[in-house]
């Protein structure tokens, strides 16, 4: 039989393409850390998990904090991982707080969490809660309400929340990716903020209640109790709890779009259809109060405070003090950098001096080594004495008058603790002799032990013979 090679299987990725999702409208996608600081109650930990789910997919869902981690650790990782924002939850005796900061240089917004509701509590209060699907694979759409104001802190809050989520490009956006909505609303009466999280459901519109039930179900309903199908279509087949589609929720879906929900997820519509858009809240839900705004990342000048108002003169004085502290810090850092550089230069020069001339004295940081310090010390030759005698007397000295000296370098003697001079040659010879004596003694001890062992064996054999004769 003829054998044929099988077709090579091609891997089909089921996750979202990171390269395609990394840029939206030619800009980098904002990413975030959602962490906690200090001890927080169990409900706040659940709120952190719900917030991470709301910020997905551009957040660390399974981030684990340690007690030893500080804010500097997250800031140092933000550049490598491309993280742009941080949401930090904390709890004190007065309540729970949320910090929203732009990494790595700020600003930072401090919110007090007045009230919050978890996702599971929102689902428990609904008659028909939403079942989770693939809506968390795409980022949510942020909707801001009542954020128009001339106040500086409200404008800053508007910009921070808007930049916390990826922007939308109307030309390239797909309806299938617009699955969630985050509503950030300001209450003009109280001045607080409300955060809500919804999932978008797009269903076919312009149909009666009975037709909707037929479209949604895979099997036909039981029509045995009706005399005519018109009775079912005119309203007899739907429950009273289902409401009619409002005119404001009706939108026109262009042909070829994949947005309207079907029996197996979103389906493609072949022609233009009218659909109804409904929002189902999935949580979490938070009521926030802006307490403070700082210029830097969890530090810096306080631009706004909910309880404290300062005069212009006091603000100018605080800014001058802050500028002075920054100058002192900059000078101290420059001084430390100079000290480290000078220390490294000193170590380099000392190492160079030891390698070249054996000089072991300490060298100052600003001192340059003299060339003679790098030359090894040598003894004078006897030729210099002969030349001096010839110059002064006028004739050459007799043979043997000046003894030739050894031109090799004499090392400085080494001393023991008791003051005696260490002779390395004698010590090495004595050490060698001592080693030989020890070797001889060890051999003699081995011979003695072997003889004792043989003697014991003979005694034991003699005893065995005596016992057998008895």
Residues 170 and 153: beta-carbon distance below 8 Å: no
Residue 210's nearest CA partner among 241, 232, 184 is 232
Between the ranges 54-63, 228-237, 245-254, where is the mean pLDDT highest? 54-63
Element (H, E) at 210: helix 209-216
Of the candidate ranges 65-69, 150-154, 258-262, 377-381, the one whose mean pLDDT is the lowest: 377-381
pLDDT at res. 374: 46
**What's the rounded Cα separation, in Å, for the pair 407 and 380?**
7
- Calculate mean pLDDT across residues 404-421: 60
- Calculate mean pLDDT across residues 129-154: 89
Between the ranges 14-23, 146-155, 353-362, where is the mean pLDDT highest? 146-155
Could you report the per-residue pLDDT of 273-331, keeping only the tens digit for each? 777 788 899 989 999 999 999 999 988 888 899 988 888 888 888 888 888 888 899 99
Query: Comparing 187 with 250, which gets the higher pLDDT?
Result: 187
Chain length of the chain:
470
pLDDT at res. 175: 76
- Calculate mean pLDDT across residues 6-29: 57
Could you report the per-residue pLDDT of 115-124, keeping only the tens digit for each? 999 999 999 9
pTM of the full predicted structure? Answer: 0.60
Helices (H), 358-423: 383-393
pLDDT at res. 270: 61
Percent of the chain with pLDDT over 90: 32
Of the candidate ranges 103-117, 212-226, 354-368, the one whose mean pLDDT is the lowest: 354-368
Give backbone dihedrals phi and psi of 49, rounded to 5 degrees, phi first.
Answer: -65, -40
pLDDT at res. 379: 44
- Calculate mean pLDDT across residues 71-96: 92
- Calculate mean pLDDT across residues 25-39: 83
pLDDT at res. 313: 85
């Amino acid at each position: 039989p003829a054998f044929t090679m099988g077709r090579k299987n091609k891997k089909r990725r089921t996750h979202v393409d990171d390269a395609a999702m990394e840029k939206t409208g030619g800009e980098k996608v904002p990413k975030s850390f959602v962490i906690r600081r200090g001890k927080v109650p169990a409900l706040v930990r659940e709120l952190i998990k719900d917030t991470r789910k709301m910020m997905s997919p551009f957040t660390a869902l399974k981030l684990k904090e340690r007690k030893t981690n500080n804010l500097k650790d997250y800031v140092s990782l933000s550049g490598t991982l491309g993280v742009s924002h941080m949401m930090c939850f904390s709890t004190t005796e007065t309540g729970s707080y949320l910090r929203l900061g732009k990494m790595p240089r700020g600003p930072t917004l401090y919110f007090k969490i007045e009230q919050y509701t978890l996702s599971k509590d929102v689902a428990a209060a609904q008659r028909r809660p939403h079942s989770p699907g693939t809506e968390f694979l795409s980022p949510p759409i942020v909707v801001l309400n009542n954020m128009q104001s001339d106040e500086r802190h409200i404008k800053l809050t508007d910009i921070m929340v808007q930049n916390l989520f990826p922007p939308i490009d109307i030309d390239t956006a797909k309806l299938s990716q617009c699955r969630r909505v985050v509503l950030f609303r300001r209450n003009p009466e109280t001045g607080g903020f409300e955060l809500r999280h919804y999932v978008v459901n797009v269903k076919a519109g312009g149909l009666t209640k009975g037709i909707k039930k037929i479209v949604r179900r895979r099997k036909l309903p039981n029509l045995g109790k009706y005399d005519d199908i018109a009775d079912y279509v005119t309203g007899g087949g739907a429950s009273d709890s289902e409401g009619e589609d409002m005119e404001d929720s009706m939108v026109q879906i262009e042909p070829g779009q994949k947005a309207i929900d079907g029996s197996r997820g979103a389906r493609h519509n072949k022609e233009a259809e009218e659909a109804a858009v409904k929002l189902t809240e999935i949580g979490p839900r938070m009521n926030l109060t802006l307490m403070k705004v700082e210029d830097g990342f969890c530090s810096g000048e306080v631009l706004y405070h909910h309880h404290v108002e300062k005069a212009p003169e006091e603000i100018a004085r605080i800014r001058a003090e802050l500028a002075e502290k920054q100058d002192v810090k900059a000078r101290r850092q420059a001084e430390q950098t100079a000290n480290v550089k000078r220390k490294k230069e000193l170590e380099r020069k000392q190492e160079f001096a030891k390698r070249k001339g054996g000089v072991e004295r300490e060298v100052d940081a600003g001192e340059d080594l003299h060339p003679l310090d790098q030359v090894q010390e040598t003894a004078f030759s006897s030729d210099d004495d002969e030349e001096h005698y010839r110059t002064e007397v006028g004739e050459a000295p007799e043979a043997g008058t000046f003894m030739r000296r050894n031109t090799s370098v004499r090392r400085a003697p080494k001393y023991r603790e008791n003051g005696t001079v260490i002779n390395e040659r004698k010590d090495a010879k004595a050490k060698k002799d001592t080693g030989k004596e020890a070797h001889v003694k060890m051999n003699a001890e081995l011979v003695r032990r072997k003889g004792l062992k043989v003697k014991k064996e003979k005694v034991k054999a003699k005893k065995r013979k005596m016992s057998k004769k008895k």
